Amino acid sequence: MVSAVETFPLESALPDGGYGTAKAPGDRRVATLVKVTTSDGVHGWGESFGPPRRVAPFLAEFGAALLGQPVAVRENRLLDTLSTGYHHTTGGPHVAALSGLDIALWDAQARTFGVPVGDLLGGRLRESVAAYASSGYVTPGRDLGELRAVLARNAAEGFRAVKIKIGLSPAEDRARTQVAREVFGDTGLVMVDYNTNATAASARRSIERLHDLDPYWVEEPVPPHDHAGYRELRAAATARALPPLAGGEALYTRYGFREPIAGRQLDIVQPDVAKCGGFTEAQAIRAMAAAWNLRLSPHCWGTGVAQAATLQLLSAVPDVPYGAGTGEPLIFEFDRGHNPLREGVLTDPIRPAAGGRAEIPSGPGLGVSVDEAWVRAHRLEEHSVAVRR
């Protein structure tokens, strides 16, 4: 049974004006960690995506409702909350709050059994995965020399794949992608991310100018609600052999992913475990993607807790639509932007492994240890929640 829920809203200002996307600049990194304690004294940790001040009220409500409830009952509780609260929609900070709690419950149960979460998700199939550097952010100066230096550092870390931010203009998008291609060479993978800063028409003009640079995928060219725009771009990609379309980081729960998957608007499905509904909904989304023969590549842009959760999810993803010895690899998004929270929350932070890979933690639960003293020292106390039975 759940005996206590405690939350740790975190925020860190970024130096030198920060960085962001073509859509919006960012001057800080944020996250909210969630700690669940069971009646057996086991602790489980999760993470909720989004601004802590918006997520905190939902965590207070949902955390109190968890007290005295079985750790193992997750799917019914999450779906029932969405069903009875249908006026609040199936996406937003309340689902991010549910996501952190869900991750913490899975972590607590896996620790109770003394196994990694991946064992409960269907069984660990791999000990490591390929990784790409999530990098090339838009900085205030938008300087190509600065971009080249950042990507060179990523390559020096051993990464053989990189994702950069574009969506500025067709000319600037090409120039930024050209830099990435030059740094990572002909054999490296280069992904481009518009962060929805385009219409279908402007995205098509930009994507066509990138064709000879061979992007591995094109991410979020238009907003998630623009289903017609995705269909238009998907048709153009098929007709002109343009790069695959990826998206899903801004979608919530199985309901948000249903139309994009069933309508084959995406080639690569990208749920974020810290906002889509935790492991419970990520598993449902994974199964839907497999049913429509689509690739899965989760979004991950949080602290070490979100990284560990994403890696546990990837550890148990079946090889479909490919066999074990062929096809496109599963690939982990390894954020390389400045974020003191990312490494600060763990006693032993997750680091890039040799050969451009990420090792999947093998310990119980998420497989990592939270530095609770650090987390307590850095939390926003006025937005923290602590409820006990």
pLDDT per residue as tens digits for the range 47-58: 999 999 999 999
**Residue 283's pLDDT is what?**
98
Give CA–CA dist 7/184, Å, rounded. Answer: 40
Range with the poorest average pLDDT among 8-17, 190-199, 306-315: 8-17
Binned at pLDDT 50, 70 and 90, residue 241 comes out as confident
Buried b (16+ CB within 10 A) or exposed e, 256-290: bbeebbeeebbbbbbbbbbbbbbbbbbbbbbebbb
Report the pLDDT value the prediction gives residue 89, as an integer from 0 to 100: 82
The residue to which tokens 């935790």 are assigned: 278
Segment 20-32 mean pLDDT: 95
Is the pLDDT at 97 greater than 80, yes or no? yes
Domains of the chain: 2-114+369-388 (3.30.390.10), 119-359 (3.20.20.120)
Cα separations in angstroms, 24 against 20, 141, 292 = 6, 14, 33
Percent of the chain with pLDDT over 90: 93
Token reading at 81 = 């909350």
Residues 6 or more apart whose Cβ sits within 8 Å of residue 108 = 36, 37, 38, 42, 43, 44, 71, 365
Cα–Cα dist 366/226, whole Å: 35
Name the residues annotated as catalytic. 299
Is the pLDDT confidence value at 323 over 90?
A: no
Alpha helix stretches (DSSP H) within the chain: 52-66, 75-84, 93-113, 117-120, 144-156, 170-184, 200-209, 227-240, 253-262, 278-291, 304-315, 340-344, 372-378
Q: pTM for the complete prediction? A: 0.97
Task: Give the per-residue pLDDT at 242.
Answer: 85
Separation of alpha carbons 285 and 273, rounded Å: 10
pLDDT, tens digit, for every residue of 173-216? 999 999 999 999 999 999 999 999 999 999 999 999 999 999 99
At residue 295, the pLDDT reads 96
